[in-house]
């Protein structure tokens, strides 16, 4: 079995030996420009069109959870990957725990008013603020898939009222489930902390705009852990300035790296990280890919297949 690997930043010196160890029967090589030699599987992130074009592969694995970049490239270059070739993505592979760490720490930061105390500290003011109550701190998770469900489970342990919104209803312990555009308004009404874990698809781009934000509870918070295109950044800034929103924690942006003159950098109630909420962990990703290839070779059912029409 021949496997080709391409990632713009991952170190092949770390990935290739680990892949060979996990797939002892396979020849694994780094793909380089001009390599037209046969391959059965391709493991990729932001692949050049020429790497995949015309290949009769048994499968392509995206080396991340989101497949928006590969699907948008496919839209521009449909010849890159024939329709019948399955595309897979990483399901969890350690990203769930990272998302839990991120979401829990930030929700507790807001709930315990550490942002307000930090602002008071800057004025050297010793002032005891009124405590927030759990029952006024409903957390709404947009996207209740692999990562959204994990984040919900970790927040449930802290006793917050929880709700989620997805395409179809979910049965997650302690979480009220809303589904579809017809239930979005009900989901938003009373949500105090909105956490976004949707995939980037034509249906979700620009979803978090002023209209959506205005339906949240007053003094609410937004945490964007998914993709920058989900949030209309000017609307977010407007809602922060009007006081409707009390704070935002952003990991992803409409442009990455975020340009140095972007107003989000300077906003006192915006915290941010540079798209690091959940990284691909080599060991867990390789275990998932090796197990999936094994099942495909034996003709078994596998997880992680992307529905190219649905867009995730």
Ligand X SMILES: NC(=O)C1=CN([C@@H]2O[C@H](COP(=O)(O)OP(=O)(O)OC[C@H]3O[C@@H](n4cnc5c(N)ncnc54)[C@H](O)[C@@H]3O)[C@@H](O)[C@H]2O)C=CC1
Interacting residues toward ligand X by CB under 6 A:
65-66, 95, 143-148, 165-167, 197-201, 203-204, 225-227, 251-252, 275, 277-278, 312
DSSP-derived 3-state class of residue 213: helix
**Does residue 257 have a cis peptide bond before it, meaning omega lies within 30 degrees of 0?**
yes
> Angle 114-122/95-111 helices, nearest 10 degrees?
60
Active site residue 267: no
Rounded Cα distance, 3 and 277, in Å: 29
Q: Which is nearer to ligand 3PY, 71 or 239 (CB)?
A: 71
Active site residue 275: yes
Rounded Cα distance, 208 and 230, in Å: 6
User: Whose CB is nearest to ligand X?
Assistant: 145
Q: Tell me how far, at minimum, the Cβ of 11 lies from ligand 3PY, in Å.
A: 16
Q: Give contact residues for ligand 3PY (rule: CB under 6 A).
A: 64-66, 275, 279-280
End-to-end CA separation in angstroms for the chain: 27
3-state SS of the chain: helix, strand, coil percent to 5?
A: 35, 15, 45
Tokens coding 55: 């290949």
Q: Which of 275, 281, 305, 308 is catalytic?
A: 275
Q: Tell me how far, at minimum, the Cβ of 24 lies from ligand X, in Å.
A: 29
Q: Tell me how far, at minimum, the Cβ of 68 lies from ligand 3PY, in Å.
A: 8
Q: Tell me how far, at minimum, the Cβ of 199 lies from ligand 3PY, in Å.
A: 9
The entry of ligand X, ligand 3PY, none near residue 198 (CB within 5 to 8 angstroms by kind) is ligand X
Active site (catalytic) residues: 227, 275
């Amino acid at each position: 079995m021949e496997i080709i690997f391409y990632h713009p930043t991952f170190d092949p010196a770390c990935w290739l030996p680990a892949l060979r160890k996990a797939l002892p029967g396979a020849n694994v090589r780094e793909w380089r420009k001009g390599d037209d030699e046969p391959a059965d599987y391709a493991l990729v992130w932001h692949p050049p069109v020429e790497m995949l074009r015309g290949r009769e592969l048994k499968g392509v694995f995206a080396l991340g959870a989101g497949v928006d970049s590969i699907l948008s490239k496919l839209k521009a270059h449909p010849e890159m990957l024939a329709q019948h070739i399955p595309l897979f993505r990483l399901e969890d592979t350690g990203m769930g725990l990272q998302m839990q760490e991120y979401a829990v720490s930030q929700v507790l930061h807001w709930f315990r008013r550490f942002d307000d105390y930090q602002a008071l500290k800057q004025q050297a003011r010793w002032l005891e603020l009124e405590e927030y109550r759990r029952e006024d701190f409903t957390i709404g998770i947009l996207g209740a898939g692999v990562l959204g469900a994990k984040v919900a489970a970790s927040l449930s342990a802290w006793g917050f009222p929880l709700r989620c919104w997805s395409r179809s209803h979910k049965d997650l312990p302690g979480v009220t489930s809303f589904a579809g555009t017809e239930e979005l308004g009900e989901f938003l009404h009373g949500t105090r902390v909105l956490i976004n874990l949707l995939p980037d698809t034509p249906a979700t781009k620009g979803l978090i705009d002023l209209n959506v934000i205005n339906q949240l509870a007053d003094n609410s918070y937004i945490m964007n852990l998914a993709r920058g295109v989900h949030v209309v950044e000017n609307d977010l800034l407007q809602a922060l300035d009007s006081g409707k929103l009390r704070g935002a924690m952003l990991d992803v942006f409409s442009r990455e790296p975020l340009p140095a003159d972007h107003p989000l950098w300077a906003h006192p109630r915006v915290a941010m990280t540079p798209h690091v909420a959940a990284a691909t962990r080599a060991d867990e990703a390789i275990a998932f890919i090796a197990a999936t290839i094994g099942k495909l070779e034996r003709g078994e059912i596998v997880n992680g297949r992307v529905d190219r029409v649905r867009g995730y």
